[in-house]
Structure 1
Amino acid sequence: MCNKREIKISVRNLVEFILRSGDLDISFRSMSRAVEGTRAHQKVQKSKDENYQSEVTLKHSFEYKGFIFMIEGRADGIIKERVEDSIQIDEAEVEKQSISNICIDEIKSTNKPLERIDENHNQVHWAQVKCYAYIYCLQNKLDTIDVQLTYFHLETEVTKCIRKKLSLMDLEEFFYNILDKYIVWANFTFQWTIIRNNSVQELVFPFDKYRIGQRELAISVYRTIRDGQKIFVQAPTGIGKTISTLFPTVKAFSEGHTSKVFYLTAKTIARQVAEEAFKKMRQKGLRFKTLTLTAKDKICFKEESRCAPEYCEYANGHFDRVNDALLDILNNEDELSRAIIEVYSKKYNICPFEFSLDLAIWADCVICDFNYVFDPRVYLRRFFDFNGNDYTFLIDEAHNLVDRSREMFSATLFKKSFLDLKRVFKDKEPKIAKALNKVNTYMLKMKKLCGKENFYIQKKMPNDIIQILNSLMSESEEFLAKKQGTEGHKELLELFFEALSFTRILELYDDRYVTYVEKDNRDIKLKIFCLDPSYLLSEAVKRGKASVFFSATLSPIEYFKDILGGNKNDKIMILPSPFDKKNLLLMIASNVSTRYKDRENSYNIIADYIEATVSNKKGNYMVFFPSYRYMKAVYERFTEKHPRYNTIIQTNTMTEEEREEYLNKFRHNPRETLISFAVMGGIFSEGVDLKGDRLSGAIIIGVGLPQICLERNIIKDYFNERNNKGFNYAYMYPGMNKVLQSAGRVIRTEKDRGIVLLIDDRFSYNYYKRIFPKEWRHNIQVFSPEHTKIMTTSFWYNSNS
């Protein structure tokens, strides 16, 4: 926003923010209540007649105490009660007089006995419905209106309605009393907007000059945000993608083209890069509030992340203290990092995760994982309840969103979990055991469909499991709410949310899905699998105004544009490498096959190619493989043939500390050669920034094809039907993406020089070369380890001269 005194907030956020108090309670009961609350709304609404209008959006813009407020919300129901008038008058007059009364209805679910609920039960509930009623009265020129709270008892499904008639004058007084309490926050917002926007106007690009392509990228990002569009950008490693997207976004922010930025990533390292970019801009005078959201399990102060007042002192009385903490941190901090949030959370004795979510409302930029915007089960509904938000989504390393979104939009059940738990509950909780057995029986029925095969695939949705899962969840609720800590509780809780996830994803099921059953060792897997996430992603980005998808490896870009939900009107941009091509020696060893059937015969020659690549310059090198098994076999052969080299190898169960220790071995000015063996697509092939002489080269074994499996073949068959590119979409493009990411570790700055050796005959095929980025066109074919040694000798000699 520009320097206007504009405040946009939802009715619910307004009243809950001002009136909240007491404990934070996200126990099972409160979580299941949220789920059941949605069902309760739907049951009540469906039971009404034609006079009941459900989910009515109400908006009100007005000026008050120097601010322009834009307040909106969605009433659960508006009841238009009609009477028959026996007096004979014309039709227009009948229509006008036949509506005798208007009532605004707010539905709330409860487990509390209805006889214990009276009109003083919950003032926040009344506040919400009164605000809706006030807006409706204003817009429809009513002097009086009825307000009603409908309490739906979750166990008995009986409702209790508490109704009042209120005047416009009473509602107006109440409404402005709430606003008066909010003015301190409105003033903060206004003052902060001036400070922030003034700093942005004076902000200059935080580096001495733009690299090749950076200015062009920055201009395109700015225009995309200004015009509310989508763009897909392939920007090579080292161009400075993060600052080139954030800097123009910050500029667009101060000019009113967006009101909040979500910087979305798949990995922690990318979030750290975004934080560093903001630090650079702050050094140039920027004032901008940035929040990094950390997963609940990581930021929780307790051993178990259970938000219940009887267990956690930070949850006990959380809402009595959190607004004071908000005002304190917002007045004193711009960088709302995990460390800063933890300091203030301990100072005020509040939950750090819930505190983070509140801070997201006040932050200018939220740096977070993909799932906070895209995952239908956990996205931040507090921001996305209404369409038309002018948010900007900056989607970093967007190539990772393909597989991540498939998993976000899919759901899985395993038979063994239900059978094992049935045995636990057989005697002590027979109703739960019976419900578990029904799921187990259903899974057995699905197993029979496999016949002699290990799998069965169907396009139709498995409707018949919905009632079975709902029954299990219903039978489980009381036990989960009251018997925490008893045998089977933790396992049943996990199954409850797996069942809930399954039923929610079923609501998205269409012709882009399949259902498959697979025999998995001694278990049975049932999965509703999203083959094509493009539609759901395109719907998700409508939660904002503009989206920038960017990565060093969106190649081929038309594939990523298609699979990530782009359309023909969306822009694409492919930027050249900013670095001198002479800095990279790119070699292809095309006399080796790394196909699965040929791997055993390749160990010796690959070991020799590795030695030839590293022998001419003391340095650090990474060797990337398509699998752990292949990597281990070559590692053993290499260390046997060339024992003089210092080697390290990635394992598939590395802790954070072990990963850090692994990377710390890549030292500047190495005194001896280090050869790292790692896996393509793994933790060391993306987001690792080893600048200068910390990495001298990368050797990439194979074209990175994902392992042949049922899911990949289902994807292949689906896209063969759709566009005849099944193998490309399922195997080739994802594989080459891993190759490009791995190779991207080598050249990070304009001063870097290094070697990339690609080992596989397929790299010389035209249909692979077409995917190569432009900066790879100067590749050289080598025909033996000896030839490789000659080429590396020449490269390093010319580098030193």
Structure 2
Amino acid sequence: MILLSADNQEANTVRISVRPLVEYVFSSGSIDSGFRTAGAMHEGTRIHQQVQRTYREGDQKEVFLKAEIVHDGIMYRIEGRCDGLIQTDEGWMVDEIKSTSAGLDTLEGGRTVHWAQAQVYAYIVAKEQKLGRIGVQLTYVDTSTGEERRFKRVCTSAELEQFVHGVVEAYAPYAALRLSNAVKRDESIRSLPFPFASYREGQRKLAGAVYGAVKEKRKLFAKAPTGIGKTMSTLFPTVKAIGEGLVQQMFYLTAKTITRTAAEQALGLMESRGLRLQALTITAKDKVCFQEETLCSKEACPYADGYYDRINGAVLDILANETLMTRQVLEQYARKHMVCPFEFSLDTAYAVDAVICDYNYIFDPRVSLKRLIEEQKKRTVLLVDEAHNLVDRGREMFSAAIGKADFLQLKRDYKTANKAVAGAADAVNKYFIELKKACGDARQQLTKEAPEELVVLLERFVSEAERLLAAGGEDRQLLLDTYFAAQNFIRTAKLYDSRYITYAEVQRSDVTIKMFCLDPSYLLSQADKGFRSAVFFSATLSPLSYYRDMLGADADDYSISVASPFRREQLDVRIKPVSTRYRDRERTREELADSLYGLVSERRGNYMIFFPSYQYLQSVYEVFADKYPGVRTIVQGSGMGEEERERFLDAFDADNPETLAGFAVLGGIFSEGIDLQGDRLIGVAVVGVGLPQLGLERNLIKEYFNGEGKNGYDYAYVLPGMNKVLQAGGRLIRSEQDEGVLLLLDDRFLQPHYRELMPEEWKD
């Protein structure tokens, strides 16, 4: 909704595009049922070209326009691209093109916000060409039928000038507040000291590298050990860059909630030293929704009903009074103003200096913050925490799967209610029937081509579903979910290239097809393209060459590896050469249990024991609990909620009167990101080398990278597995005072290839 770019070189100057300006002033009404069409009510390339092809010689299309208006001492530079400028017998006419799938009969003379956009363009043209009057036209196109409908007005230049000045006046309180907050922010940054008495060893080196990457507009890939203070080492130099006018905004991107808390705490510490910077944390919709069931419609939710009538007041209120906008703060203001807390966080995110959120808001094409315009990206920095997680997350974001079962059900559900939807669903269902036959006895099919025939059928289904969904009505959750799945599949097909493979699998009576992204590096690099700088950092970004490759580094991007600041004597690393291979697990589980008891019985305290899977964990735990009932244990459960996670971590109390052994899973919520300093954790055991489970997708990755001249087994199995081991081992030494024992249980830890992947401080 809100996009503003303040120019630090010119005080009291605001740059704003026409569309976000009028959307801020004129958007109204409620959040819909969660359905937003792929092409409805926004410029679609196909629709625009269809209309613009009808223009005559002398007509103009995609006309860049700009104007300057002064209001209350602030210069507003308004700019945008007009769809069409048409010559008529009465003179020039501005043409604004919009698409809709809800049907042209629902438009009732055109939308207010669309008229406003067209009239701002008309004002600029009339002023530039000194016209006394000018035509304004809205052209709507039905995305399903291609049918067009036009609405026309003629406006005098005086009317347009009065209208545009009224728009600027309505926008001015927001703009003035943003400028005032920016001045206070920059003044506070100039006098902001590093928030600790001194830099830890290696911390200044990392902070300097981050600042250099931001200044030089490069990516940085940084391997920095646990405990060095990576969060502050990346945030502090970026904050300084904001104060110097190099950067306008930063995104601190994480894979897990717990690392978002670390970023909030770091910003809070800087605030206690005088910083006045506005930061916001985006929390997933299902976690912040105030309703028992997440149904985004005015009928089901009072926070969705009339949302756009109240949102500007809510944003102004929180920007005027808050700096660190955590989940709790956002929820407080959302209740006060009766607005959806999730949508509120998204709308406010465009206006703050720092956003803390999940990777997907930048990298995932399904949910990314679409309103970050290119000009804003150029002054935005991405700080990607625990960046090793982004490789597999990237694969997930850029892959898409769809199955037969839902289309069969939709065919049945709409057989009489809507023959068009039923027919489109039936066509997709028939495709899957043929695909199932083609899979044969192997119950599987592989191809290096995108399933173009299916994509065409899904496009037809989407078109029919769109029309029905846009009309509203009774609960259509299955249709809505299948519509989104089809849209994602179609979108992914447009990304398809040699880095993909398509596979189909038959499971019982159902069949699914998946376009699987084998190598996400190119698409990740495209997603962060346009941003001023991106910093990828982790304690386990090792080997750096692998992560540079997989995260899409260019040859001239920077890398840095920071040595551990801790004394080797703090960490006692031991290796127990026992086989944890799948075929040997039953035979060696008693030996493992005995070794684990040997560790936890040495000294009273808290220990964590990590396993490569829940099944393996339970198998060894049964033996351990049976043989050593005197040891207090706690076990990570599958699908733990936030309260359960907190209770698990709270059990690791420094003052525990007895030994505690926590059994957890490698790569899970407790194997990275948690910070149990001092006597809260004195020993860690890692069972196995963390190799992912053998499976179709991992083998496809292996074969792909073998074909690229790389070690496919390492790329698919060894490197992701050892990363989990390094993360788990990194839970132990978190500060200069920590000491502990790290027990590695697997004979492969003694093999040269695996030892090469260990940190130096583990190798003695």
TM-score (norm 2): 0.93
User: Could you say if the C-alpha distance between residues 728 and 213 of structure 1 is closer, same or farther in structure 2, counting changes exceeding 3 Å?
Assistant: same
Q: Compute the displacement of 1:164 (Å).
A: 4.3
Asked if structure 1 preserves the Cα contact closer than 8 Å seen for 2:40 and 2:100, the reply is no
- 2:739 aligned with 1:726, yes or no? no
Asked if structure 2 preserves the Cα contact closer than 8 Å seen for 1:26 and 1:306, the reply is no
- 2:316 aligned with 1:327, yes or no? yes
Q: Given residue 20 of structure 1, which amino acid in structure 2 is its aligned partner? A: S
| Same amino acid, percent of matched pairs | 46
- 2:240 aligned with 1:259, yes or no? no
* Aligned counterpart in structure 2 of residue 529 of structure 1, from 504, 516, 533: 516
Q: Compute the displacement of 1:17 (Å).
A: 0.6
CA distance in 1, matches of 2:408, 2:473: 21
Q: Give the aligned partner of residue 90 of structure 1.
A: none
* Aligned counterpart in structure 2 of residue 383 of structure 1, from 344, 361, 372: 372
CA distance in 2, matches of 1:736, 1:54: 55
- 2:46 aligned with 1:44, yes or no? no
- 2:611 aligned with 1:625, yes or no? yes
CA distance in 1, matches of 2:220, 2:126: 43
User: Could you say if the C-alpha distance between residues 248 and 448 of structure 1 is closer, same or farther in structure 2, counting changes exceeding 3 Å?
Assistant: same
* Aligned counterpart in structure 2 of residue 547 of structure 1, from 534, 544, 556: 534
Asked if structure 2 preserves the Cα contact closer than 8 Å seen for 1:237 and 1:747, the reply is yes
- 2:69 aligned with 1:67, yes or no? no
* Aligned counterpart in structure 1 of residue 590 of structure 2, from 596, 604, 609: 604
Q: Give the aligned partner of residue 763 of structure 2.
A: 777
Q: Compute the displacement of 1:496 (Å).
A: 1.2
Q: Given residue 139 of structure 2, which amino acid in structure 1 is its aligned partner? A: T
Q: Which shows bigger deviation, 166-175 or 716-725?
A: 166-175
CA distance in 2, matches of 1:720, 1:183: 59
Map 1:171-250; keep pairs closer than 5 Å. 171-250=160-239
Q: Give the aligned partner of residue 26 of structure 1.
A: 32
CA distance in 2, matches of 1:386, 1:148: 28
- 2:21 aligned with 1:5, yes or no? no
Asked if structure 2 preserves the Cα contact closer than 8 Å seen for 1:384 and 1:543, the reply is no
CA distance in 2, matches of 1:458, 1:144: 60
Map 1:120-139; keep pairs closer than 5 Å. 121-135=110-124
Q: Give the aligned partner of residue 716 of structure 1.
A: 702
Map 1:315-714; keep pairs closer than 5 Å. 315-384=304-373, 389-426=378-415, 428-481=417-470, 484-485=473-474, 489-589=476-576, 591-714=577-700
Q: Given residue 7 of structure 1, which amino acid in structure 2 is its aligned partner? A: V
* Aligned counterpart in structure 1 of residue 94 of structure 2, from 101, 104, 109: 104
* Aligned counterpart in structure 1 of residue 303 of structure 2, from 298, 309, 314: 314
Question: What SS class does the counterpart of residue 451 from structure 1 fall into?
Answer: helix
Question: What SS class does the counterpart of residue 545 from structure 2 fall into?
Answer: helix
1:486-544: per-residue Cα shift (whole Å, max 9, x none)?
Answer: 5xx32222111111111111111111111111233543220011111111111111242
Asked if structure 2 preserves the Cα contact closer than 8 Å seen for 1:40 and 1:152, the reply is no
CA distance in 1, matches of 2:199, 2:549: 31
Q: Given residue 645 of structure 1, which amino acid in structure 2 is its aligned partner? A: V
Q: Give the aligned partner of residue 725 of structure 2.
A: 739
CA distance in 2, matches of 1:389, 1:303: 40
Q: Compute the displacement of 1:244 (Å).
A: 0.9
User: Could you say if the C-alpha distance between residues 564 and 29 of structure 1 is closer, same or farther in structure 2, counting changes exceeding 3 Å?
Assistant: closer
Q: Given residue 104 of structure 1, which amino acid in structure 2 is its aligned partner? A: V
User: Could you say if the C-alpha distance between residues 467 and 351 of structure 1 is closer, same or farther in structure 2, counting changes exceeding 3 Å?
Assistant: same
User: Could you say if the C-alpha distance between residues 418 and 369 of structure 1 is closer, same or farther in structure 2, counting changes exceeding 3 Å?
Assistant: same
User: Could you say if the C-alpha distance between residues 290 and 59 of structure 1 is closer, same or farther in structure 2, counting changes exceeding 3 Å?
Assistant: same
Question: What SS class does the counterpart of residue 476 from structure 1 fall into?
Answer: helix
CA distance in 2, matches of 1:132, 1:463: 40
CA distance in 1, matches of 2:41, 2:400: 17
User: Could you say if the C-alpha distance between residues 59 and 722 of structure 1 is closer, same or farther in structure 2, counting changes exceeding 3 Å?
Assistant: farther
Q: Compute the displacement of 1:235 (Å).
A: 0.9
Q: Which shows bigger deviation, 593-602 or 505-514?
A: 593-602
Q: Which shows bigger deviation, 421-430 or 4-13?
A: 421-430
Q: Compute the displacement of 1:9 (Å).
A: 2.3
1:294-347: per-residue Cα shift (whole Å, max 9, x none)?
Answer: 122222222233332233222222222222222222111111122112222222
Q: Given residue 581 of structure 2, which amino acid in structure 1 is its aligned partner? A: R
Q: Which shows bigger deviation, 110-119 or 510-519?
A: 110-119
CA distance in 1, matches of 2:402, 2:12: 51
Q: Give the aligned partner of residue 4 of structure 2.
A: none
CA distance in 1, matches of 2:722, 2:107: 62
Q: Give the aligned partner of residue 3 of structure 2.
A: none
Q: Compute the displacement of 1:79 (Å).
A: 4.5
Return the index of the structure with the highest Cα Rg.
1
- 2:274 aligned with 1:282, yes or no? no
Question: What SS class does the counterpart of residue 704 from structure 1 fall into?
Answer: coil
Provide the alpha-carbon RMSD of the alignment.
Answer: 2.7
Q: Compute the displacement of 1:212 (Å).
A: 0.7
Segments of 5+ residues of structure 1 without an aligned counterpart are 84-99, 779-801
User: Could you say if the C-alpha distance between residues 215 and 61 of structure 1 is closer, same or farther in structure 2, counting changes exceeding 3 Å?
Assistant: farther
CA distance in 2, matches of 1:242, 1:658: 26
CA distance in 1, matches of 2:410, 2:105: 37
User: Could you say if the C-alpha distance between residues 301 and 543 of structure 1 is closer, same or farther in structure 2, counting changes exceeding 3 Å?
Assistant: farther
Q: Compute the displacement of 1:169 (Å).
A: 5.8
CA distance in 2, matches of 1:582, 1:203: 36
CA distance in 2, matches of 1:251, 1:278: 13
Asked if structure 2 preserves the Cα contact closer than 8 Å seen for 1:151 and 1:161, the reply is yes
Asked if structure 1 preserves the Cα contact closer than 8 Å seen for 2:211 and 2:241, the reply is yes
CA distance in 2, matches of 1:623, 1:424: 50
Q: Given residue 47 of structure 2, which amino acid in structure 1 is its aligned partner? A: H
Map 1:736-775; keep pairs closer than 5 Å. 736-775=722-761
Question: What SS class does the counterpart of residue 372 from structure 2 fall into?
Answer: helix
Asked if structure 2 preserves the Cα contact closer than 8 Å seen for 1:576 and 1:775, the reply is no
1:425-459: per-residue Cα shift (whole Å, max 9, x none)?
Answer: 44555543332222222122223333332422111
1:682-708: per-residue Cα shift (whole Å, max 9, x none)?
Answer: 111111211111111111111111111
TM-score (norm 1): 0.89
1:143-167: per-residue Cα shift (whole Å, max 9, x none)?
Answer: 8754321012355432112344556
1:534-556: per-residue Cα shift (whole Å, max 9, x none)?
Answer: 11111111242111111111011
User: Could you say if the C-alpha distance between residues 207 and 463 of structure 1 is closer, same or farther in structure 2, counting changes exceeding 3 Å?
Assistant: same
Q: Given residue 401 of structure 1, which amino acid in structure 2 is its aligned partner? A: L
Asked if structure 2 preserves the Cα contact closer than 8 Å seen for 1:460 and 1:514, the reply is yes
User: Could you say if the C-alpha distance between residues 643 and 115 of structure 1 is closer, same or farther in structure 2, counting changes exceeding 3 Å?
Assistant: closer
CA distance in 1, matches of 2:485, 2:638: 26
Question: What SS class does the counterpart of residue 449 from structure 1 fall into?
Answer: helix
User: Could you say if the C-alpha distance between residues 180 and 36 of structure 1 is closer, same or farther in structure 2, counting changes exceeding 3 Å?
Assistant: closer
Q: Compute the displacement of 1:624 (Å).
A: 0.9
Q: Given residue 108 of structure 1, which amino acid in structure 2 is its aligned partner? A: K
- 2:309 aligned with 1:303, yes or no? no
Asked if structure 2 preserves the Cα contact closer than 8 Å seen for 1:236 and 1:576, the reply is yes
1:587-636: per-residue Cα shift (whole Å, max 9, x none)?
Answer: 122x3222222222221221121122222111111111111222111111
CA distance in 1, matches of 2:376, 2:650: 46
Q: Compute the displacement of 1:82 (Å).
A: 10
Q: Compute the displacement of 1:645 (Å).
A: 1.3
